Amino acid sequence: MNIYLVELIVFLLLALFVTIIFKVKKNHKLKLILFTLFIIFSVSISGTYLLEKPHVYIVSPEINLQINQYSEIKVPHTTYHMKDVTSSVKIIGTVDYNKVGTYKIEYEVPTIVGEYNVEQTINVVDSIKPTITLKGDKVYNLSYSAKYDELGFTVEDNSFEDLTQKVKISKEEITDTEYDIIYSVEDSSGNTAVERRKVLIVDDIAPVISINGSANMRILVNSTYTEKGATAIDEKDGDLSDKIEISGKVNTSKVGEYKIKYTVSDKSGNKAETTRKVVVYKESTNPSSSGTGVIYLTFDDGPSSSITPKILDILKEKNVKATFFVLNYNSSLEYLIKREYNEGHSIGIHGYSHVYSEIYKSDEAFMNNVTKLQKKIAATIGYSPTIIRFPGGSSNTVSKNYNKGIMSRLSKTVIDAGFRYYDWNVSSGDAGGAQTSAQVYNNVVNNLSKSRSNVVLMHDFGGNTKTLNALADIIDYGLENGYIFKPITKDTPMVTHHISN
Ligand code: ZN
């Protein structure tokens, strides 16, 4: 009931009673009854008024507050005798907002008859799960050749509890190339958090392409370029040579520099690329036809199964023709004589035998040694060579031990018999002083001269890797420095030593 209305009614009744009491002067009995009624009525009204309780509008007897998220409890709206008395309400009791727990407080409202208290329960709770933050990529590409190193994490919780040591890390295999790393943690209120990092095992290693033959080729204009391709090996996928794509063309009819590009990708898309440089060059008109600036590479004492095929490979790749002064060969090496001949090299006679004591014991023995091999070569390739290199050279003095003056005679005899003989003016030292490929290389290139024809003495006997390994560089040097390479033919001017026996 409206308290103001009550007050008004009380006032009006009071006024009415006072009026009636004064009007019924003579009836004392009635006066007494009315007065008694007035007293009773006044007391009951006053009692109701005095005993009315304030109204505290609490939301709920229990309030849940997240830990660390609340700093002050608001006093609930409170009325007393229809008036807003919120501002005079006091909070009794304390709450530790940083600690999970149940706290009791009271709202205390002052009234006419004393303090009126309303209880309130505050539950400080932690129902928020921790937060795990992963360092590094959530989807991590790991090279199959590498080991996974934990990338780390941070963990935060609203309770400010340090949960770092509580984080459990486990691994879950998904497929052969994929797994999850699971980070899980539980705070002291039982809130759990889980994070996952996906690790994808990837092949990020490109294949390796090796060019077959030389990566720096030189070929004579109007000759044939043969694409030898390349080999590609991938650590994971193995041999990918079939998948190599070759692009670029060599126009062999036009001098210039060409590039052949080899590209290949492995199954994971790692791409490898390499390039072969092919220089198409024109044989210079200067050096002159007299042979100046020409290099005649000569190989003695072959053929050998270990060295001769590889020398032929290099000569073929460089498109350089040379001369082989051969010794007797058995039938298993016939193919090398044929190959030398078929690939455009010259074949000369070194001798059926190389044994000085036998070949230089007489003029006849020497000539037989020459013609015996000549016939054998003719039987192998259908061509009879007429160029000779004397074992030990025409300047040898070892023949003195077996026949005095024989070299002076033979040098004429061979020519009378239709042969021409060739000594050398550049010695690679590969049968003597040179110990390494570098020494062979230097012995040759340091003694070349543009002002003459250069006959280079080398050997293709078995095991002569010094020369084999220097050959490509020697040829490159010659080509880059304007020399031309030719095989010795019967028309090549003789290069001879001074005869000393
Ligand atoms: Zn020899």
Query: Could you read off the pLDDT of 123-144 as tens digits, one per residue?
Result: 999 999 999 999 999 999 998 8
- How many beta carbons lie within 10 A of that of residue 322, not counting itself? 27
In this prediction, residue 145 carries a pLDDT of: 84
Structure tokens given for 199: 């690790």
Residues with CB under 5 A from ligand 1 (ion): 300-301, 391
**3-state class (DSSP) for residue 264:** strand
Q: Is 370 exposed, middle or buried (0-12, 13-18, 19+ CB in 10 A)?
A: buried
State in Å: Cα 19 to ligand 1 middle: 164
Q: How far apart are CA 16 and CA 10, in angstroms?
A: 10
State in Å: Cα 294 to ligand 1 middle: 23
State in Å: Cα 396 to ligand 1 middle: 11
pLDDT (tens digit per residue) in 437-472: 999 999 999 999 988 899 999 999 999 999 999 999
Helix-helix angle 28-51:3-23, to 10 degrees: 170
CA 238, 243, 246, 247 dihedral sign is negative
Q: Is 300 among the residues known to form the active site?
A: yes
Q: Which of 126, 187, 234, 459 is catalytic?
A: 459
Residue 214 has pLDDT above 80, yes or no: no
Q: How far apart are CA 490 and CA 323, in angstroms?
A: 12
Structure tokens given for 219: 């070929």
| pLDDT band at residue 286 under the 50/70/90 scheme | very low
| pLDDT band at residue 29 under the 50/70/90 scheme | confident
State in Å: Cα 316 to ligand 1 middle: 24
In this prediction, residue 1 carries a pLDDT of: 46
130 contact partners, CB below 8 Å, separation of at least 6: 155, 156, 157, 158, 163, 185, 187, 191, 193
Rounded to a whole number of angstroms, the CA Rg of the chain reads: 57
pLDDT (tens digit per residue) in 425-436: 999 999 988 999
Concatenating the DSSP letter of every residue in 167-233 gives -EEEEEEEETTEEEEEEEEE-TTS-EEEEEEEEEEE-----EEEESS-SEEEEETTS------EEEE
Residue 103 has pLDDT above 50, yes or no: yes
Residue 466 or residue 221, greater confidence: 466
Q: Is 459 among the residues known to form the active site?
A: yes
- Burial pattern 272-285, b for ≥16 Cβ within 10 A else e, equals bebebebebbeeee
State in Å: Cα 328 to ligand 1 middle: 12
| pLDDT band at residue 70 under the 50/70/90 scheme | low
| pLDDT band at residue 45 under the 50/70/90 scheme | confident
pLDDT (tens digit per residue) in 291-313: 568 999 999 999 999 999 999 99
56 contact partners, CB below 8 Å, separation of at least 6: 76, 78, 89, 107, 109, 118
State in Å: Cα 349 to ligand 1 middle: 10
State in Å: Cα 354 to ligand 1 middle: 7
Q: How far apart are CA 187 and CA 167, in angstroms?
A: 10
Structure tokens given for 237: 């996928």
| pLDDT band at residue 40 under the 50/70/90 scheme | confident
State in Å: Cα 319 to ligand 1 middle: 25
State in Å: Cα 353 to ligand 1 middle: 10
Q: Which of 126, 157, 187, 300 is catalytic?
A: 300
Of the candidates 307, 293, 302, 304, the one whose C-alpha atom is nearest the C-alpha of residue 437 is 307
Q: How far apart are CA 322 and CA 484, in angstroms?
A: 11
State in Å: Cα 343 to ligand 1 middle: 23
Residue 287 has pLDDT above 50, yes or no: no
In this prediction, residue 396 carries a pLDDT of: 97
Strands in 78-80's sheet, in edge-to-edge order, are 55-56, 78-80, 83-84
Residue 331 has pLDDT above 60, yes or no: yes
